Chains A and B, each alone.
Chain A
Amino acid sequence: MKYASLRKTNLNHWLKHLKNKAKLYAPRPKENLFVFRPVKEVEEVCLEYIPTILPPKKYYFPQKEKLFKFSVQPFKTAKAIDKFEEFILFGVHTCDIAGIQCMDVVFRDAPEDPNYLNRKDRMAIIGIECLKYCDKYANCASMGNHLPRGGYDLMMVDLGEKFIIHINSEKGEKLVSGLDYIKEAAQADRNLLERVREAKKKVFKEEFIGSLPEVYDAFDKSFASAIWKDVGRRCVACGNCTAVCPTCYCFDTQDDLDLSLNNGVRYRIWNSCQMDDFAKVAGGKDFRKGRDSRQRHRYYRKFKYPVDKFNRYFCTGCGRCTRTCMADISLIETVNSLLSEERLQ
């Protein structure tokens, strides 16, 4: 089976089935925004959502993650996580799936990171394709992430009365097989999917004023641009943009001792290149001292450095950094300014 179909009236049955199979995480409303949460009641799951406050990276790259246990006297270390849990991410947008693909590339790159890979191996991804823009902040069309590009086990597309589900892996096949309410999709559904994709072309337009290779070129030439000064002047170095980014993975390590002051755990915790002391060395020298150089670093880590290293843009187009920025620094605006500056020269 390559494509399956599921009537919307049966969605909750399926969610219950998934919930019994493994730990299930899905989007649901929180105040006026959305979050990924463990599913307690399947009715809470909301598939019409704008990107969640945090991307699902919190489940495969937790904000605070145990590396190992230790005791000071006698000097001893031990595994901190006995068993990594099987889990399903449900209703993931294609932009966030692109984010997971970026993380895969980073943590598989030698030397491999076993903590990430252990979690990733036990993760199933069920995506949902967006048929309209979430809001004005997204730049998924320019990044090419408004369409599914692999990296998932199942991909759902809303066809009105039902979902058509693309089965992309054996893991995915197991999640839809043996259920009487999920059938192989009829040719009519496949045709409808084609028409939905055709209609999408009219909705999603490139948000940048240039193509990705032009963006790369602009970055290549804009290291000394005054635009970074402008971005840096507005930035308050709060680090929100990196916390919410699905492809930011910088971290710090931290030892926490229990009350005995002898036993403890070494954690890795998210860290942000926007923080004042991020690139500081022992003698106090700081190699990215200004907020302008730190913002530039963040942008280059999306549009330049990973392209050189992995041939992959690390901006997914989710728009979270702009949505969350307290100083209204807009990614689309910054990239377009670089492009126009480059064109003027």
Chain B
Amino acid sequence: MLEREILLEKMRATPYLPMKAKIIKAQMVTDKEKFFRIQLENKINLGHIPGQFVMVSIFGFGEAPISVCSSPSDKGYFELTVRNVGVFTDKLHKLGKGDEIGIRGPFGRGFPVDNMFGYDVMIVSGGLGIVPLRSLIRYIMHNRNDFGNVQILLGCRSPKELLFEEETKQWMKRAEIKFNCTVDRADPDWKGNVGLITALIPGVDINPIRTYGVVVGPPIMYKFVILKLLEKKIPDHQIIVSLERRMRCGLGKCGHCQIEGTYVCQSGPVFTYNDLKKFKGELHEKAA
């Protein structure tokens, strides 16, 4: 049986039961974020689509949804990058090489990589948004001929919060991918842009009809970046975002990730701007 089918059958028969997985590499990459390379039992490939997430279990502590940050073309393992923000992630940060965790998934709708074949891609990342986007960027790197021009705009609060610095340097070296980075607050060694990511968008040169704009970042960023992309005349269905919600089941049942009538764990986390337009008011944090 194909690995993908094994995973699907497992999810069908015992959807709540995590698979055993082992951390084969772990390292702090910034003050708050830790990187994990994980191998499923029997070295089964996760077979995910870039942008999908897994439910990570630490028995006794519970379960949390985490975006996969490696590409499906990275075989034999997959990778996660996790910020320490609460009880669960704090425990996860205490784990290291050789420790075992539980994995369910992959879940959700990923980036529409098949639809993006032949298109130019403009990736806009804010803060931790680079984590799910890294799966897409690596996928594009591994299948470079399938895509047109690729450019990445990356924003974060300060240079020391910049994730995947080494990789970023590699991306910058590869001439066929344009890369531009900005920070909210510079430090003395910083030689790049300072300011909001929205300031970088007007300057980019794109053919909007042939371009996918992919945006991942904190909720506040979406509104402003999407407006800039619309100004660039990128069609609504070619603006792609990934939304953060705290899923408990991944099966479209538990209700936690629901935006109005939509279960993000099944219909998302990746949406087009066309999808987002249908929401009436639960996209952002605000009262009714």
Interface on A for B, CB 8 Å cutoff?
67-68, 70-72, 74-75, 77, 106-107, 109, 111-115, 223-224, 228-229, 232, 249-255, 257, 261, 264, 266, 268, 271, 273, 278-283, 285-290, 292-293, 296-297, 300, 304-305, 308-309
Contacts and interface: CB of A to CB of B under 8 A. Distances in A.
Interface in B225-281: 244-246, 248-249, 251-256, 258-261, 280-281
Contacts of A67: 16-17
5 contacts: A223-B280, A228-B288, A251-B249, A268-B249, A282-B86
B219 interface: yes
B255 A273 contact: yes
B261 A261 contact: no
Given A223-B281, A255-B62, A289 B287 contact: yes
Contact of A281 (B11, B245, B255, B281): B245
A342 to B, nearest CB: 16
B52 to A, nearest CB: 14
A300 B260 CA distance: 8
Contact of B219 (A68, A285, A290): A285
A296 B259 contact: no
Given A75-B20, A106-B253, A111-B252, 10 more contacts: A223-B280, A224-B280, A228-B288, A251-B254, A255-B60, A271-B254, A290-B288, A296-B288, A304-B261, A305-B261
A297 to B, nearest CB: 8
A293 B256 contact: no
Nearest to A229: B288
Interface in B171-186: none
A287 B282 contact: yes
Given A281-B245, A282-B246, A285-B219, A250 B255 contact: yes
A111 B11 contact: yes
A283 B60 contact: no
Interface of B is mostly: loop
Contacts of B102: 70, 75, 77
B72 to A, nearest CB: 21
Contacts of A281: 244-246
A99 B63 CA distance: 29
B85 A282 contact: yes
Contact of B285 (A255, A278, A289, A296): A289
B98 to A, nearest CB: 12
Nearest to A284: B85
B18 interface: yes
Interface of A is mostly: mixed
B13 interface: yes
A67 B219 CA distance: 33
Interface in B60-93: 60-64, 83, 85-86, 89
Interface residues of B, number: 48
Contacts of B244: 281-283, 285
B229 to A, nearest CB: 22
A14 B179 CA distance: 78
Contacts of A280: 246
B288 to A, nearest CB: 4
B91 to A, nearest CB: 11
A77 B19 CA distance: 9
Contact of B17 (A68, A75, A228, A297): A68
B287 A254 contact: no
Interface in B1-46: 11-18, 20
Contacts of B249: 251, 253, 268
A253 B63 contact: yes
B100 interface: yes
A261 B261 CA distance: 39
B233 to A, nearest CB: 30
Contact of A309 (B12, B17, B245, B261): B261
A63 to B, nearest CB: 15
Contacts of A283: 85, 218, 244
B256 A250 contact: yes
Given A75-B100, A253-B62, A261-B60, A109 B17 contact: no
B287 A75 contact: no
Contacts of A288: 282
Contacts of A305: 260-261
Contacts of A293: 281-282, 286-288
**Max chain B CB contacts within 10 Å: which of A251, A279, A305, A309?**
A279
A249 B253 contact: yes
A292 B288 contact: yes
A300 B261 contact: yes
A105 to B, nearest CB: 12
Q: Which 8 A-B pairs have the closest CB atoms?
A: A290-B287, A250-B255, A305-B261, A293-B288, A75-B100, A292-B288, A223-B280, A67-B16
B251 A111 contact: yes
Contacts of B63: 253, 266
A136 B256 CA distance: 33
A114 B253 CA distance: 12
A8 B281 CA distance: 55
A305 B246 CA distance: 20
A235 to B, nearest CB: 11
**Max chain B CB contacts within 10 Å: which of A77, A232, A282?**
A282
Given A75-B102, A223-B280, A250-B255, A266 B245 contact: no
B261 A308 contact: yes
A75 B20 CA distance: 7
Contacts of B284: 287
B1 to A, nearest CB: 19
A107 B288 contact: no
A214 to B, nearest CB: 19
A286 B12 CA distance: 31
